[in-house]
């Protein structure tokens, strides 16, 4: 009976106070929904690669090149010969495999595809327990004429046909071979840094002519995974890696006779479960996560839930006066303080369960958009254990939210309340509510500043002068493949005739699609052993004109002046060659060439090929260009040279006017006419650059969404509190109006009473937000000025104040306009 009575009372209280109940339920629902969505994200991000049976003992080797005068170059890939040296020197290693990436042209009948194929060693099967759906993966990876396909790739190539036994022709651009499908494996789960659509055995003899792939010590083209006998062996290997590098790497041609490999490179290994959030460097198969964002969004989830809980506490304590008689009468009738606390906690939990149900509906409605922003495939898990955990969260929130109001309400003294026919609210309660409002708005202001800073940095990145014009440039890829390379000049000539095209060029790299290619370079007065490592991007005629790169001195490559570059055959045979070179400003300084004008005509000597080969190419500086930022703002512009490529270019770039869609369709038709054996691939440079900041853009959107939720929930609470305050001061307002106060005076009085907590919230939030966002910006070499953060802090304060004023004023006007006679009859 007692429980039924409590539930009936709770329900009646909710119905009689619809506004406050709605604010509590809806605010808690938003807080719980945000918390659940962020928990889905955090759980997904922190569970990468935990499903492998040997996950605790699977590690990946990384390398960092520390070249004087350059930012450290971090790579998650490793030199090809490293695998053999590791097996030789570390008894702790059980199995090791390289996973190299290549995109061969693949054909079956009249179907042609270009897909990522992973080149792996036979030990792959001893490390990764991939689920085999058909065939024998162990046999497949012991034969260089067999191929393993994922389920998705098998369906793509063969539709509903039986894939096992079918033959695919693969063209690696250096050799061609027919491969028989020997195994089908399950698609790699989303929560893995590995992507394994196609597996082919590494046969190093196939790559003898491409020395950089698996034979060069200073070329990193494959990830290297290994298992150890015990998980703790990883620490031993990392501790001995410097000595190992000194004993196995060839001497680098820099630093003098006493230089050691460990002076210029650092090897390290990391457990596979830590890769997603902690590894640094180029060469990942899938996008990495961000440890900082995981922590940040976890904190945001707690903060939004905190704001919703504060709303509940504020409104519950504010309504204490309305329930003072009820509490007093219950005590007179024999109810103990414990009984009353349990009653009010029960009401709190009941409200929270309503909110919990609504939260699930909100999550399901918003998940599709959430997944699109995050580029994930998150889904609610309705298993009994997960529902139990979420119900536990709701219960904890309900108890914590109702704990303080329950103690406040249960502490009323019957004699005092019934004698006065009212309940006087204590100063402590008023101060607590003011403090809670401060916390709400401090959180909201901090999130507003964070959102504004992230957005400003993204806009800065996208609009910053990168040294070239990225607008209206379309790129055609796969030009370096043999069938397309033979048609390169035809493609360029035809594109130059297109009415929309103003300039065409070819190059090995394009903005947003760069590699960390380098070359050894020196001036004649620098000894060979002191040659410098300089970045290299091979370009074609009209490259600088097509990208509208500013020339500081001299000229660019010109066919009419017989500028030529070394052919692939000359480079392979090591023939001596004399030619021209264009350099950027940073290279000018690094090589000590003086001013741009002074650099013209000077000789540079370089080795074309692996580090350590004889230096045989002499190049005359014919031009100096501005520094070009092809990569994201996280990296410093490096010293670079731009050699003229005589017969190789991986892509064709064209500057155009008019409709991009029209040009795309015409370029596609031309490609299919000239190179029907290779699928057409293209992009626009603007899109490629934007993709470099896709993660930050997603973070900015989520910051904005969660900041908006926090502010909205805070405003809900403020609205309810203002409504209650205005109602409680009805008689005071009536007296003020009789004494001559205007509606404006009344509204101003109520608005100003809520302004002080917002001012205090600004003073709390600003220094914290400033410190955190300055720290976040440190990952960008080029970033917005910190003075802008101060300005954004000021804007956030004004914004918060306006929101508070509008929220309170919208509620106060109705009371202020009421007839004074009605107000004086109140209570």
474: nearest Cα among 550, 546, 556: 546
**pLDDT at residue 611, as a whole number:** 41
- Continuous H helices in 333-383: 337-374
- Please give the backbone phi and psi of residue 226, each rounded to the nearest 5 degrees, phi first: -150, 155
Query: Which residues of the chain register pLDDT less than 70?
Result: 1-20, 69, 252-257, 315-337, 339-340, 401-433, 565-577, 607-616, 633-634, 646-648, 717, 720-734, 737-738, 740, 743, 750, 810-827
Query: CA dihedral defined by 299, 302, 308, 313, rounded to 10 degrees?
Result: -120
Q: What's the alpha-carbon Rg for the chain, to the nearest Å?
A: 34
Cα distances (Å, whole numbers) of residue 118 to 194, 198, 397, 592, 680 = 10, 6, 48, 42, 22
Do the Cβ atoms of 742 and 336 come closer than 8 Å?
A: no
Instruction: Provide the residue count of the chain.
Output: 827
Q: What pLDDT shows up at residue 12?
A: 64
292 class by beta-carbon count within 10 Å (0-12 exposed, 13-18 middle, 19+ buried): middle
Dihedrals φ, ψ of 242, to 5°? -65, -45
3-state helix, strand, coil in the chain (%, to 5): 50, 15, 30
For residue 187, the model assigns a pLDDT of: 94
Tell me if 370 sits within 8 A of 37, measured CB to CB: yes
Domain edges within the chain: 2-44+291-461+694-824, 67-263, 501-656
pTM above 0.75, yes or no: yes
DSSP 484-512: HHTTHHHHHHHHHTSTTEEEEEEES-BTT
Tokens coding 193: 């840094």
For 421, 727, 811, 823, the CA distances from 816, given in Å and listed in that order, are: 26, 10, 9, 10
Give the C-alpha separation, 214 to 220, whole Å. 9
644 close to 434: Cβ distance less than 8 angstroms: no
Q: Is 421 helix (H, G, I), strand (E, B) or coil?
A: coil
| 169-184 pLDDT tens trace | 998 888 889 999 999 9
């Amino acid at each position: 009976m007692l429980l039924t009575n409590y539930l009936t009372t709770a329900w009646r209280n909710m119905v009689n106070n619809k506004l406050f109940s709605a604010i509590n339920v809806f605010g808690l629902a938003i807080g719980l929904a945000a918390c659940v969505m962020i928990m889905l994200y955090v759980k997904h991000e922190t569970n990468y690669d935990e499903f492998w049976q040997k996950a605790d003992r699977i590690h990946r080797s990384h390398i960092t090149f520390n070249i004087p005068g350059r930012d450290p170059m971090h790579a998650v890939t490793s030199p090809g010969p490293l695998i053999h040296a590791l097996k030789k020197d570390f008894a702790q290693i059980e199995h090791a495999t390289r996973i190299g990436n290549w995109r061969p042209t693949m054909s079956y009948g009249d179907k042609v595809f270009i897909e990522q194929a992973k080149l792996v060693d036979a030990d792959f099967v001893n490390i990764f327990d991939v689920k085999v759906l058909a065939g024998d993966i162990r046999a497949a990876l012991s034969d260089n004429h067999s191929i393993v396909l994922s389920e998705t790739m098998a369906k793509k190539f063969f539709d509903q046909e039986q894939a096992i036994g079918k033959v695919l022709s693969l063209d690696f651009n250096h050799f061609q071979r027919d491969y028989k499908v020997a195994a089908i494996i399950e698609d790699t789960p989303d929560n893995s840094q590995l992507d394994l659509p196609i597996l082919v055995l590494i046969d190093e003899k196939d790559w003898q002519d491409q020395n950089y792939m698996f034979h060069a010590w200073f070329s990193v083209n494959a990830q290297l995974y290994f298992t150890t006998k015990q998980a703790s062996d990883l620490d031993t290997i990392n501790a001995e890696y410097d000595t190992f590098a000194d004993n196995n790497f060839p001497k680098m041609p820099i630093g003098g006779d006493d230089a050691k490999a460990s002076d210029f490179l650092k090897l390290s290994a990391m457990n596979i479960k830590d890769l997603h959030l902690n590894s640094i460097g180029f060469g990942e198969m899938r996008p990495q996560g961000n440890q900082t964002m995981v922590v940040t969004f976890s904190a945001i989830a707690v903060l939004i839930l905190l704001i919703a809980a504060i709303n509940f506490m504020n409104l519950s304590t504010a309504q204490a006066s309305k329930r003072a008689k009820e509490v007093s009468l219950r005590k007179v009738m024999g109810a103990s303080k414990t009984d009353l606390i349990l009653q009010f906690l029960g009401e709190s939990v009941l409200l929270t369960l309503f909110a919990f149900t609504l939260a699930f509906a909100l999550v399901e409605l918003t998940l599709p958009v959430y997944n699109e922003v995050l580029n994930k495939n998150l889904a609610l898990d309705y298993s009994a254990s997960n529902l139990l955990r979420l119900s536990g969260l709701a219960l904890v929130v309900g108890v914590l939210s109702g704990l303080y109001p329950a103690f406040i309400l249960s502490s009323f003294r019957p004699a005092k309340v019934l004698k006065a026919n009212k309940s006087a609210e204590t100063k402590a309660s008023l101060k607590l509510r003011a403090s809670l409002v401060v916390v709400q708005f401090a959180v909201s202001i901090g999130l507003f500043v964070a959102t504004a800073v992230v957005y400003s940095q993204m806009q800065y990145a996208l609009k910053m002068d990168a040294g070239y014009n990225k607008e209206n440039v379309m790129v055609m890829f796969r030009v370096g493949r043999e069938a397309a390379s033979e048609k390169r000049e035809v493609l360029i000539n035809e594109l130059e005739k297109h009415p929309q095209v103003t300039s065409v060029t070819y190059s090995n790299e394009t903005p947003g699609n760069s590699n960390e290619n380098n070359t050894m370079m020196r001036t004649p007065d620098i000894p060979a052993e002191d040659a410098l490592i300089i970045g290299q991007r091979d370009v074609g005629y009209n490259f600088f004109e097509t990208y509208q790169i500013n020339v500081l001195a001299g000229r660019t490559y010109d066919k009419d002046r017989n500028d030529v570059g070394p052919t692939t055959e000359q480079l392979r045979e090591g023939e001596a060659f004399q030619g021209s070179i264009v350099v950027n400003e940073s290279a000018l300084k690094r090589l000590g060439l003086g001013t741009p004008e002074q650099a013209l005509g000077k000789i540079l000597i370089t080795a074309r090929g692996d580090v350590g080969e004889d230096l045989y190419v002499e190049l005359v500086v014919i031009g100096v260009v501005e520094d070009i930022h092809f990569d994201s703002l996280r990296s410093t512009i490096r010293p670079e040279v731009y050699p003229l490529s005589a017969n190789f270019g991986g892509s064709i770039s064209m500057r155009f006017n008019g409709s991009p869609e029209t040009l795309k369709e015409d370029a596609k038709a031309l490609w299919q006419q000239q190179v029907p054996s290779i699928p057409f691939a293209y992009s626009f440079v603007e899109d490629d650059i934007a993709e470099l900041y896709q993660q930050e853009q997603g973070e900015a959107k989520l910051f904005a969404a969660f900041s908006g939720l926090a502010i909205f929930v805070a405003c809900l609470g403020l609205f309810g509190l203002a409504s209650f305050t205005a109602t409680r001061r009805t008689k005071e307002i009536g007296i003020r109006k009789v004494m001559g106060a205007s509606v404006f005076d009344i509204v101003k009085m109520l608005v100003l009473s809520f302004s002080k907590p917002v001012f205090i919230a600004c003073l709390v939030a600003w220094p914290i937000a400033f410190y955190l966002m300055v720290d976040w910006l440190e990952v960008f070499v080029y970033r917005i000025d910190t003075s802008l953060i101060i300005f954004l802090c000021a804007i956030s304060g004004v914004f918060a104040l306006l929101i508070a004023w509008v929220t309170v004023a919208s509620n106060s006007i109705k009371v202020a306009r009421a007839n004074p006679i009605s107000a004086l009859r109140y209570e």
